[in-house]
Amino acid sequence: MPIIGIDYEKCINCGNCRTVCFLFSRSDKENDKIIFQGPQAYCNLCGHCIAVCPEDAILYEGIGEAYAYEGVDKPENIASFDTVYKILRANRSIRRYKKEKVPNDILKKVFEAMEHAPTGSNMRSEKFLILSNEEQIRTLSDAVQEELFKNPLMSDRYKEIFAIMKKIFRSPIYFDAPHVIFVYSSTDLESEANNIGIIITYGRLAAQALGLGTCWNGLTQIAMMSNPKIKKLAGMRGRKVGVFTIGYPDVTYYRSPPRSAKRIKGLEM
């Protein structure tokens, strides 16, 4: 029972909790109190009631600690749109990495950012795995290539380019990145792929802010869907998976590349 109720010594009866969750109501009309009415089975542990309470009056346990900081109530004051837009435009898929390993304390910050990514119905069923052993990454790279080339269409498209890449990289699937991160889940819902995508986006943006480079790796996903046994080489099990490389970039970009404008239906320009 993570949400236990309300600390009425702190509660100012503002009703904010009712605006974010239907499990709070003014059922105790005689004492003019808001109560958490449950049942617990309907609570998805989103924590919005904790976040929206100005007096920190929501009682809870077993779901971690809430975090307050300057600007949490108005994030637009932390970073302007122009600043965020430039960060988004500057984000690139990195395919050249330095050999240097990323310290664990830096990697933990990336994982912490991913832990706070939103998921549908707050399922949070995803798990994380990181590979940092060069030989294990190389073995996985070879297995992914072998699986891809079983498909004539994939073979026609990639065999020549991978022949060139093998002259440059020991692990061409991963561009010799020092680390490969997996986000996976045993849930087979279609929405879980969206959740994993959001989580990886959080991780990639966090990595960028730490001076790291990343690249989404769809080829590993394709190979694992075709042959689930490849997942065992990475030491993971799951129905849905997302993969990205991470490390210190060995390339510098001096401008964001051009992108053609998309037509937006329903928006008058």
What is the tally of structural domains in the chain?
A: 2
Q: Are 222 and 231 in contact (CB under 8 A)?
A: no
175, 215 Cβ separation under 8 angstroms: yes
Answer yes or no: do 141 and 224 share one domain: yes
Same domain, 54 and 103: no
Mean pLDDT, range 256-265, rounded to an integer: 92
Amino acid at 227: N
Same-domain pairing of 37 and 100: no
Domain check: are 97 and 52 in the same one?
no
What CATH number is attached to the domain comprising 120? 3.40.109.10
Instruction: Specify the pLDDT at position 121.
Output: 87
Q: Do residue 232 and residue 101 come from a single domain?
A: yes
Q: Is 175 contained in some domain? A: yes
Domain of 126 in residue numbering reads as: 93-247
Asked if residue 21 is part of any domain, the answer here is yes
pLDDT at 26 over 80: no
pLDDT in tens, 50-87: 999 999 999 999 888 999 999 999 999 999 999 999 99
Residues 126 and 12 in one domain: no
Torsion angle defined by CA atoms of residues 170, 135, 159 and 225, in that order, rounded to the nearest 10 degrees: -150
C-alpha 38/C-alpha 145 separation (Å) is 51
Residues 98 and 56 placed together within one structural domain of the fold: no
Please indicate, yes or no, whether residues 231 and 150 belong to a single structural domain of this protein: yes
* Residue 254 belongs to a domain: no
Of 133-137, 189-193, 219-223, the range with the lowest mean pLDDT is 189-193
| Residue range 204-218, pLDDT digits in tens | 999 999 999 999 999
The pTM assigned to this predicted structure is: 0.92
Indicate whether 74 belongs to any domain: no
Structure tokens at 205: 């943006």
Over residues 161-170, mean pLDDT: 94
pLDDT interval class at 29 (50, 70, 90):
confident
Provide the CATH number for the domain around residue 25: 3.30.70.20
Which pLDDT tens digit goes with each residue over 187-199? 988 899 999 999 9
pLDDT at 173 over 90: yes
Q: Do 159 and 206 belong together in one domain? A: yes
Interval 22-34 mean pLDDT? 81
Q: Is the pLDDT of residue 19 over 90?
A: yes
Let me know if residue 227 belongs to a domain. yes
- What number is the average pLDDT over the span 123-145? 96
On whether residue 188 sits in a domain, the answer given is yes
Nearest-angstrom CA–CA distance, 114 and 205: 10
Asked if residue 144 belongs to a domain, the reply is yes
Query: Do residue 160 and residue 236 come from a single domain?
Result: yes
Pair 219, 105 in one domain: yes
Residues 234 and 139 in one domain: yes
Looking at 60, 83, 108, which one is the last position of a domain?
A: 60
Sequential DSSP letters for the chain: --EEEE-TTT-----HHHHH-TTEEEEETTTTEEEE---GGG-----HHHHH-TT--EEE-SS------TTTT-GGGTS-HHHHHHHHHH--B---B-SPPPPHHHHHHHHHHHHTS--GGG----EEEEE--HHHHHHHHHHHHHHHTTSHHHHHHHHHHHHHHTTT-SSGGGTT-SEEEEEEES---THHHHHHHHHHHHHHHHHHHTT-EEEE-HHHHHHHHH-TTHHHHHT---SEEEEEEEE-BS---SSPPP-PPPP-TT---
Residue 259 domain-assigned (yes or no): no
Edge-first strand order for the sheet with 179-185 is 127-131, 179-185, 240-247, 213-216
Percentage of residues in the chain with pLDDT exceeding 70? 97
Kindly report the average pLDDT of the chain as a whole number: 93
